Amino acid sequence: MPSRQSVVQLRGAAPVVLPSLLLCDFGNLERDVRRLEDAGVRGLHLDVMDGHFVPNLTYGMPLVEAIRKLTDLPLDVHLMISDPAQYASQFCDAGADGLTIHIEAAPDPAPILQQIQDLGAAAGLAFNPNTPVEAIEPYLPLCDIVLVMSVMPGFGGQAFNAVAIEKLKYLSDRIGPEQSLEVDGGIALPTIASCAGAGAHLFVVGSAIFGTSDYAVSVSQLEERARTAFTTTGR
């Protein structure tokens, strides 16, 4: 069964680095998951792309299920797909603890967010850099997570778009104490502090972990950089 609470509780541990498995070594999946566990990560981020909503195709339910069998860490699943309502139940059955959908794929996300919570998972709503923050504001009460994209979804390794900073600042004054602000795209040592200072709690990181030789050192450095900014601002 999905564990909504395991994702909601990450807010209390903020700042939290969530490795994006999009860049892991799928030929050595168990090894990479163990390395991340040993590095002390508190959750994993899984990017699901359908080749339609975004111009790339990744993995689906079978891989989520395989990762679920490898770890008890919370699985934060990001659905970059055209019809999230059709697949929400299957991803929860596969082991997702949180499901984030895109407002660009679901202009009225309210029933899907409620469906996700009814399935026992944390409900997240994502929006792209070119989507105004006002588009998601009516749905904030239904969200456990609000995911601010700092790149256009579809490919890893893109440069950080600073438009995310103002959106994080705006949203940090409008969410409740059990809701988390998440940021995804181009998060690395040069960018994580500004996001933390703007109010982000969860940081999706790809190449800044998987492109290094020592996951534990990389995760520690990222969290320390974020923690300093997070503490300084008091957010």
Residue numbers annotated as active site: 47, 184
Edge-to-edge strands, sheet with 16-19 = 16-19, 202-205, 180-184, 145-149, 122-127, 98-102, 75-80, 44-49
Give phi and psi for 34, each to the nearest 5.
-65, -40
Look up residue 170 and give its two tokens.
């705006």
Strand partners, 102: 126
Contacts of 38 (CB under 8 A, 6+ apart): 215, 216
Strand partners, 75: 44
The whole-angstrom distance between residue 99's C-alpha and the CA centroid of its chain comes to 9
Q: What single-letter DSSP state applies at residue 170?
A: H
Are the C-beta atoms of residues 105 and 83 closer than 8 Å to each other? yes
CA atoms within 13 A on the CB side of 198: 22
Contacts of 13 (CB under 8 A, 6+ apart): 42
Residues, the chain:
235
